[in-house]
Structures are given as structure tokens and as C-alpha cells.
Amino acid sequence: MHPVSVILRVLLVVLSVAAGLIWVERRLLGLWQLRYGPNRVGPFGIFQVLADMIKIFFKEDWIPPFSDKPVYFMSPAILVFTTLMSFTIIPFVPGLYVVDLNIGILFFLAMSSLGVYSLVLGGWASNSKYPLLGSLRGTAQMLTYEVFMGVSLMGVVMLADSFRLTEIVEAQKGMWFIGPQIVGFVIFFIAGVAEAHRLPFDMPEGESELVAGYHSEYSGMKFGMFFVGEYIGITLISAIITALFLGGWLGPGFLPPIAWFLIKTFILIVIFILFRATFPRPRYDQLMEYGWKILFPLALINLLVTAAIVLA
């Protein structure tokens, strides 16, 4: 398959899923919290997403006169760019990927690290105290959780003896890595929630304290890019977990490989939404303590135990 064709297909699927998740999340939150989800616009409220998009397209694109305009414009694009770039290494089925890098995991971690610039620059360029506080929170949170996100993956790398995602999936033919690496899976999932700054770890956007955090001064399509980037991030973390811990496209033969990959990814996305419906937001100091005092030591212990087993 031609690389350009693959890129276009991946872009189409990812952006469509990100748009559809807005509707899915509202429906599931309505179900779990015993309140109405979108149910007025079209069958099952499915046209609500279309209404939201029309609103964002035609909403006044106000630019704060006190902002640093070049950086202000660039910030939302960085978030979307880094998350979409990470999809280039994900193997959906054998032969269906944009590029099969031999440093695939390192590339994902690098793009994840670059994504923090979107928060930093968005809060700084807005030249307002609430966005600045939100960007400072987001920077500390993402840099903290990236540390043990990377450490938690080293057990998978040792078991597969590769950083290449296709080889990691192939190495799970006998047993998915969620079995021997259950601790790494839990740590990576929690770190992924924090990286996507989703509830309960949405400190950079804490509405009750910071209005909307780092994107308080954004409107129109620029706010829409932050909004879509968040849902792309959820999809990315779910797809990465599927490839690294849940066997990727592997599954019983009664369904095609792509179906298994999509089913596993969708289940993880639903868990992301369930977190939002269930858990309260912790204090910021609790979030940082939880990371450094609990998750980081667990990640190191998991790494040492896995290394000892592999060597033995």
C-alpha cells in the first residue's frame, strides 16, 4: 500500500474517531451518572457533534490584544501535530502502518515530551494569570508522569527485546504482555491519563480554580484544536496500550485482525471516560506525591524484577 494512502487513511480514521468520541463520551456520562446525554439533535443526539462543529467554525475568533500573537497562534497546532505524529508508528495490522521505526517507543516518548510545549506556550502567550498557572501545573504534571511512563515500558522492551512496535506485537503471540507486565500496564495507563490531562488529572484546566486553565483565552477554531487534540490523545494512549500490552491485532480467527485492534482500543477509551464519570479530582500536591512516592518506586521495582527474570 502506498505510504500516502496509508497516511490519509490514518488521518481520516483518527480525526473521525476524535469527533465521534465527543458524542460517545456525553452519552456514556449520561448513562453512568443517571442524567441526559445529548438526545435532542437527530437520532440519539448524533447530530450534536455536527452542531458543536458548526458553532466552533462560526464563533468569533477573538484574539486578546495583550497576547504574544505568533506564539499564541502556534500553541494549539503543536498539540495536534505531536499527537498525530505519534500515530505514524502504530501498527494497526501487519503491513498497515505509516512507518515501522526500530526506535518506535522512543519516538512516541519524544513526541509526548514535545506536546508539553503546547501547554507551556499557550499559557505563557495568553499573558493572563489563570492560563499561566494552568500551564505551570501542566508542565510539572506532564514532565513528572513522563518519567515513569518511560520506565514502565522498559519491561515490555526487555521481554520483546525490541523497541519496534511490530516486533513487540509479534512477541505477544504466546501471551499478551498485560500478564507478566500487569504492574507496568497499570502505571502506564495512569501516566497516560495524566499525560492526556483527563479527569481526574485535569489540573491544568481545573474549572473550579482556573476557569479553563491554559486555554482560558482561546476561542473559535483555536480552542477547537485544543479540544480535538485532547480526544486524539485519548485515542493515541489507548492504541499504544493495545499494541504494547494487549497483543495489538492478535486475537481468535473468527474476527479480522483490524477488528481486534479496534475493539481493544475502544474498550480502553471507554475506561478513560469511566474515569471521568467516577473519580474526583485530587489536590495538586496529592497528584505529584502519588507520582513520585508510589508510581515511580513501583515502576523501578517492576523494571528490576523483570530484568532479573529475563536474565535468569
In tens, the pLDDT along 256-298 reads: 999 999 999 999 999 999 988 888 888 888 888 888 999 999 9
Residues 43-85 pLDDT 10s: 888 888 888 888 888 887 777 778 788 888 888 888 889 998 9
Q: What DSSP letter does each residue of 244-299 carry, written as one string?
A: HHS-TT---TTS-HHHHHHHHHHHHHHHHHHHHHHPPPPPHHHHHHIIIIIIHHHH
8 Å CB contact between 124 and 204:
no
3-state SS class at 93: strand
Residue 156 in domain: yes
Residue 32 in domain: no
Query: What is the model's pLDDT at position 206?
Result: 64
Residue 15 in domain: no
Query: What is the model's pLDDT at position 303?
Result: 94
Residues of the chain with pLDDT under 70: 1-2, 204-212
Spatial distance between the Cα atoms of 26 and 35, rounded to a whole number of angstroms: 10
Q: Please count the structural domains in the chain.
A: 1
Query: What is the model's pLDDT at position 267?
Result: 95
Spatial distance between the Cα atoms of 244 and 234, rounded to a whole number of angstroms: 16
Residue 6 in domain: no
Residue 125 in domain: yes
Residue 217 in domain: yes
Query: What is the model's pLDDT at position 36?
Result: 82
pTM: 0.91
Q: Using the CB atoms, write b or e for 23-48: b if 16+ within 10 Å.
A: bbbbbbebeeeeeebbeeeeeebeeb
Residue 56 in domain: no
Containing structural domain, residue 194: 65-311
* Average pLDDT along the chain: 86
8 Å CB contact between 213 and 226:
no
Query: What is the model's pLDDT at position 212?
Result: 67
Query: What is the model's pLDDT at position 210?
Result: 66
Paired strand residues for 96: 93
Q: Residue 88's closest CA among 117, 111, 119?
A: 111
Residue 52 in domain: no
